[in-house]
Structure 1
């Protein structure tokens, strides 16, 4: 897909930090919404399609309730809803902070990308969490 001349001009005029700052604002707005519109009450949010189709929990099941608990400063409640989400929040925050930093202060040299090992490890952790949280002995990983 090619950009039209108008889109190209708009992109050139935008500050490089616009993307990460807009994404951060959307994330904060989502957390505020989940804080005030309680996901524990039925009918406010749609049911997880994976849970509805298979009856098993996906890696993201319980994430909205975990965010709700975190915005209420309830770390234990958040861990009970989705321990993986709580564990990944610092990683996401660090990555987002680096994105903002490099957008405001572009590096003079080459930026070292993450080694593929870490990406494969992340995928392995997510898939393992997905399988294990649905096994009978690990019912403590199920949301709520």
Structure 2
């Protein structure tokens, strides 16, 4: 038998409109996010020397909206949800929001429909206000429950 005939015939590529092809970008995004979470799950941010310190915290002693985010991700991925909320409640909200949006994106992509998330200017202002309020409150004595 000729060597060229011993190999199985190549599989045809998925057509441009196939659900598998339409899911490549959402699955790639999920893979990248899952890889980052896996790394943070394996390399504990509570151990000194693995990650840089927040510059705002280092120079001012103030918590930015992201402070505690890596510890929150580590606790979230290892199943310590209450600790993750304490480290950074806004980050946990973001993880959950990402999950919901990703599922919607994947379902709509598989169906060949675009995902259109277009917050209004008012909604963006509300998000910005929530981030500012979260940042200010977590730095005040009565808001210490929000501090990492």
What range is the shorter-chain TM-score in? 0.7 to 0.9
After TM superposition, give the deviation of residue 127 of structure 1 in Å.
Answer: 1.2
Match for 1:140 among 139, 142, 145? Answer: 145
C-alpha deviation, 1:72, in angstroms: 1.6
Give the whole-Å Cα distance in 2 for the aligned partners of 1:45 and 1:106. 40
Tell me the equivalent position of 1:9.
Answer: none
> What are the equivalent positions in structure 2 for 1:2-21 lying under 5 Å apart?
15-21=21-27
User: Equivalents in 2 of 1:111, 1:67: separation in Å?
Assistant: 27
Quote how far apart the aligned CAs of 1:79 are: 1.3
Gaps in structure 1 of 5+ consecutive residues: 1-11
Aligned CA RMSD, in angstroms, stands at 2.5
Question: How do 1:1-144 residues align onto structure 2 when only pairs under 5 Å count?
Answer: 15-107=21-113, 111=116, 113-143=118-148
* CA separation of 1:112 and 1:133: change in aligned 2, threshold 3 A: closer
TM-score, length basis structure 1: 0.78
| Equivalent position of 2:8 in the other structure | none
Instruction: Compute the displacement of 1:112 (Å).
Output: 6.8
TM-score normalised by structure 2 residue count: 0.76
- Sort the Cα spacing of 1:52 and 1:94 in 2 relative to 1 into closer, same or farther, 3 A: same
Cα deviation for residue 59 of structure 1 reads 0.6
With over 3 angstroms needed to count, the CA separation of the structure-2 counterparts of 1:17 and 1:28, relative to structure 1, is same
Structure 2 gaps of 5+ residues are: 1-15
